A and B are shown apart, each in its own frame.
Chain A
Amino acid sequence: MLVEIRDQAFEPFAEVKGFQDNIAQQGQYGATAIFIGTMRDFNEGDEVSEMLLEHYPGMTEKYLQGISRQAEQRWPLAESLIIHRVGKVYPNEPIVVVAVWSAHRGAAYEANRYLMEELKARAPFWKKESLQEGDRWVERNTSGH
């Protein structure tokens, strides 16, 4: 289980591969579910040129570690990885990667979905978008279901 907050751009596929290469239980996982969230250049009908991602240092990590532990208790997971950006983010840059390894796809898909939905609903991050008319805070996340 690894949770990281990054203030620099990262390459999610390389991160997932690097992490997977170091999983102790090689040969034990048959399913890897990966979710990558990437910044769009539009939101609610407006062009977005950049975004500032704020978080609550300490609480964010604690919350993400908590949901990772809950996922491990609920599903038979070999490993999980969450990396999330903060700071200035530009369109096309990855914001988040959630990856889960398990013996079978059912647990991998479900645990990945669980982690992502809990992150969106409760992890203390906030987005401020830069538009042509100025900046605006994103007010809420929509449900992914």
Chain B
Amino acid sequence: MSIQVRFFASLREQLGQGGCEIPAAQAATVQEVWEVATQGQALPQNILSALNMEYVALDHPVADGDEVAYFPPVTGG
């Protein structure tokens, strides 16, 4: 009964962790997952979020077994 949380690139370095696991019961949305996973740190404005590897907005609901990821603007190509 958990949600996998992942952080990438500069955000991972700022937070000092590549991710964690949180109890599914503690968060109902992508925004709340962030708050639980970072112990209430403010979410930087330009951060993008994905649920099960698809872009979603912060108010998107989450469920047990989901993977939620946060990362800075992308710079590939």
Contact = CB atoms under 8 A, between A and B. Distances in A.
A59 B75 CA distance: 15
A89 to B, nearest CB: 11
A141 interface: yes
Interface string B19-42: 000000000000000000000000
Contacts of A128: 9
B69 A126 contact: no
B73 A125 contact: no
Given A56-B69, A59-B69, A120 B76 contact: yes
Contacts of B8: 54, 56, 124, 126
Interface string B36-56: 000000000000001001110
Size class of A's contact patch? 20 to 34
B77 interface: yes
B11 to A, nearest CB: 9
A125 B74 contact: yes
Interface string B50-77: 1001110000000000000101111111
A37 interface: yes
B40 to A, nearest CB: 25
A95 interface: yes
Interface of B: 6, 8-10, 50, 53-55, 69, 71-77
